[in-house]
Amino acid sequence: MRSEISPQTTATATVTATATQTLQPVVRAVVFDLDGVLVDSFAVMYEAFAIAYKEVVGDGPAPFEEYTRHLGRYFPDIMRIMGLPLEMEEPFVRESYRLAPQVPVFDGIVELLTTLRVRGLRLAVATGKSGPRARSLLDQLGLLPFFDHVIGSDEVAHPKPAPDIVEHALDLMGFSPEEAVMVGDAATDIASAHGAGVASAGALWALSDAGELLAAEPGVVLRRPADLLALCPSVPGV
């Protein structure tokens, strides 16, 4: 059954558009961040980070709160910013794989992705994770078939907040920046979209404090996944 935008959904998307950037019509492609947008990986991330910190650094509280301020970046880059050993990556990745089945998909995401595909849009993921780890997680959660491409930070020359990963997604799908929107929950996502000349949408459903995201000036703010549908009508001729 073909899902359509309800008047309430349209009104919600209109009301929640807050930033100064004007969002251009999006009719062909959506590039999603992964963590905090499609999946709620926060608890698993915390456990993996704590184990990696204890194994490599030793006893004491793992600085997870500081780590979360850099989400969206590639893990080795975060370690460099925080002054932590790069050796933490191996146990962090190992535990992330082990705990992946515990990661929940946000409510409304499956319905959103299904409707976008029915409407003829092409979909990609551009994530701070490595490509293999992102594809493995999406496969385990049954989301991988929705996406034409899943790109990790290890698969571009410069990860977020640089525009490379968004530009690469568009190149693979064959679209211009004007034909796409990037959906993210972090300032790095918005910066990457801006650098690529792509319209940006800030996802609020996982955030307790949206201040940093809003300060990055996304073109529109989405309070729930379904709000994106008001911006993505059916692709003509599909």
Give catalytic status of residue 35 as yes or no. yes
Phi, then psi, of 63 in degrees rounded to 5: -80, 65
- From the candidates 35, 185, 189, 227, give the one annotated as an active-site residue: 35
pLDDT digits (tens, 9 = 90+) for 19-66: 334 454 545 999 999 999 999 999 999 999 999 999 999 999 999 999
CB-based burial, 89-107: b 16+ in 10 Å, e otherwise:
bebbbebbeebbeebeebe
> Amino acid identity, residue 190?
I
Of 33, 40, 185, 227, catalytic: 33
pLDDT tens for residues 77-128?
999 999 999 999 999 999 999 999 999 999 999 999 999 999 999 999 999 9
Please tell me the distance from the alpha carbon of residue 66 to that of residue 109, in angstroms, as a whole number. 28
Tokens read off for 139: 């496969």
Strand partners, 220: 201
Mapping DSSP onto H, E and C, the string for 87-140 reads: HHHHHHHHHHHHHHHHCCECCCHHHHHHHHHHCCCEEEEECCCCHHHHHHHHHH
Instruction: Please confirm, yes or no, whether 139 is among the known catalytic residues.
Output: no
φ/ψ of 47, rounded to 5, equals: -65, -45
pTM, full prediction: 0.85
Dihedrals φ, ψ of 220, to 5°?
-150, 155
